[in-house]
Amino acid sequence: MIRDDATATTTTPATDAVLQFTSLTEPEPPARCLRVLDCLESLSGTATVGRLADELLSLDESSVSDAETARIRLHHSDLPRLENAGHLSYDSTRKRARLRR
């Protein structure tokens, strides 16, 4: 979490994502992308796709029913989208995501 004294607001990767996505063609980021950023932040900013999927499932992620579906969605949709928006770097070969600070 980062405190921006100029605006006196506290930001996280998830709240930063809201600002970034609103400037793209989508009106707002999908809620699961925000949960991915929150989970990644809680895992010290870096994790494998498998670990992120497990974390999302442990939070009772309603849009994902099993770990394999979560991993596929993360690998093919959420992580590339968040990387393109500049919030994280994603190594698709090693299946590892890292928050950009």
* Residue 27 within any structural domain of the chain: yes
* Residue 56 within any structural domain of the chain: yes
pLDDT at 1: 44
> Are the beta carbons of 56 and 64 closer than 8 angstroms?
yes
Q: How many domains is the chain partitioned into structurally?
A: 1
* Residue 8 within any structural domain of the chain: no
Any long-range contacts for 13-20 (C-beta under 8 Å, 24+ apart)?
Answer: 13/37, 13/38, 13/40, 13/41, 13/87, 13/88, 13/99, 14/38, 14/41, 16/87, 17/82, 17/85, 17/87, 20/85, 20/86, 20/87
- The predicted model scores a pTM of 0.70
12 pLDDT band, cuts 50/70/90, is: low
How confident is the model over 13-56, as pLDDT tens digits? 555 555 455 444 554 567 888 899 999 999 999 999 999 999 98
Range of the domain at 23: 13-99
* Residue 70 within any structural domain of the chain: yes
* Residue 79 within any structural domain of the chain: yes
* Residue 22 within any structural domain of the chain: yes
